[in-house]
Structure formats: C-alpha cells, structure tokens
Structure 1
Amino acid sequence: MKKYILYIILMSLTTFSFAQTLATPKVDGIPTGITISEKFPFHIKGIPFKYFDTNVWNPKSVVVAELQITYYMEGDTKLYTNKTIKKVNLGEGGSWSFANLSVAPLPYAIQGKQMVEGKTNYGLFIYQEYLNQRSGLWNVKINRIYSTIESHKIPDQNKGPKVILPKDKIILNPQPIPPKEIKKKLKGNL
C-alpha cells in the first residue's frame, strides 16, 4: 500500500512540475525563428510576462540574452564562435528589455586576415531562468547592417608593421659638434 501512495505522490509531483514550466519570453513585434536586420549595437524590448496566456514567471527570475557570432577567417577552415551574454532582472509586471546588444569576433593570431563575409552568422537567443530552471528559447537570425564608418576588421589587430616617423631630419654623415666652450676658444685664437 505504501508503494502505491508513494507512486501516486511521485506522479502528481511530476505532473505538477510539467505544468509549471517557465514561460518563453516574447519580443515586441518580432516572432521567434525569423531573420531580422540590425545595426550593432541594437536594443530589444520584451512583452511583459503579465500579458501572456501561460504566465508562469517569478519576479525574482532573470531574462538572459545570448548574442552569438559564428565566422571563418580568410585562409582558415576552422569555424570560430564568440558570444555575449547579458542578464536583466524582471521589472514590474514581468517587463524586461536589453540595450546595446553587440558581439565582435575574437582577436585573430595572424595579422591582416579578415572574416569571410558570406560565412558569418549572427544569432540571438533569449530565455527566462529561475532556480537553475530554463524556459524555452526565443531566437532569431540576424543580418548585420554595416555602416559606412564601420569596418570588418578584427578588434585589436593592425594590418602590417607599424611605421614610426622620425621627429627630425636624419643626418647621414654627422660631424662631431664641439661643446660651446671649445667653440669660443677656437674663435678667440683665430
């Protein structure tokens, strides 16, 4: 009899935990799974959780945004990745937003190499997290819009050697210049 009671309790707890999965975040005006075009850095504003039909959220939970870049470098077959992770606490009514989302490739070991543009991908993944439990993912693929000033250069990387300009004109065959005291003595003897 004890086994049956324990079995019923475990089944009810399992059913209860499935009913309490955290609600997946939604972004205002952007459905999940599409491709959007953005200039970096950009901002994302979420729909407050109080407006959801299945509004399972806790005021102490956080919303996490992972902005990821995957790219290849010129002459290299290895796939590189980098990501930026930001977390925000929920506001009143479960409201949340992210400002200044941006990601850049890691510095590359060989100078003068750039990313291969056709093989560079950006993705944004947003989820709710509370007590080591995660909600489902809201995600989009991003087509990055580059401004005219912005380049595809890897940060902290220079192309080629540094050129240091001389401050004064270089004298190719310098003659020794005697000190001022010797000059005065020489003029006085002449």
Structure 2
Amino acid sequence: MSRYEIAVLVGSLRRESFNGKLAIALTRLAPKEFECNLLEIGDLPLYNQDDDADQPAPAKRLKAEIKRSHGVLFVTPEYNRSIPGVLKNAIDHASRPYGHNAFAGKPAGVIGASIGSIGTACAQQHLRDILAYLDMPTLGQPEAFIHVTDNLFDADGNIGAVSRKFLQGWIDKYVAWVQKHAA
C-alpha cells in the first residue's frame, strides 16, 4: 500500500491542549505517505443507545472517517486516573450499535502527555483495555508516557530537541505497526 490514512483522536477539547499540540507535532514526524487527520469529537452528543437505529449526523461522520482510515492514533490526557469522558463518548458512538464497530481490526497507537510525572499511564492502560475489546491490534512497545516540560515543543510547535529522538522512534514504530496490520 502506498498511502495510509490515519484517524487521530485527541481526548481533549481544550484550545491549548498539550495533547492537541502533541497530536499535531507527531503527525509532522510521520512519513509523507501517512495522511493524519485529526477527527472532530467535540460536536458529538452524549451517546444514547436509543439513537442506535438512526445515529446523529456527527456520529455517522465519525464512524465513516474511522472506517475509511487504515489506523487510529489516540492522543489523550488523563482525567481522574482514566480517559476523559469526551474520548469515551466518541468511542461509544463509533463502536455502536453492537455488531457495527468502526474500530474493529484498525491498528491503534496510544500516547498521551500530562504535566504529572506519570504522564497518562493510568489513562493509557484503561484505553488499552477498551481497545482490546474493540478488536484493535494495539502497539505495545515502546510505551510513551509524556511528561510535559517547557522544552517538549519548540517555538514552531514541533517536538523539541530533547524529546525528538524518542518520539520519532515512537512514531516510526507506529508506522511499521500500521503497515503490518492495515488491511
């Protein structure tokens, strides 16, 4: 395959989100044959099983974007030692109704950044549990629990020099994972 579409789900809606910045900076490290698309999840209503027969338009759009992708990159903060509600809501919309899981078989990458020293470790583990149920082959190593410091990003929003080698290595492993598992 010469071209790969990667759906990027950021688990934060905050305008100045560290994870939003990390997602953009990571996509810049991907090779040119990887087209990374940050998907909108802020417009999704709360998931309601009563709507499964006719899902809301934003949910239909999200599912179509995920189905079209060759892989999914999750970039998430940690709220209260787990994933943010907005990310769980997006996952619920795109994986429902039962039997119509848009994520099934999509190779996943999980990463996150936090000002805390454990850098989203709990949220990532909870997310990995969910992704296993969703039948997503998920990159296990290297793990990337990013501690946000003043030099994580440079003045242009790229990964700073201190973290560049590690994060380039991480994205290279994810690229190889997608190439191995993408249908």
TM-score (norm 2): 0.24
Q: Which has the higher strand share?
A: 1
Larger-gyration structure (1/2): 1
TM-score (norm 1): 0.23
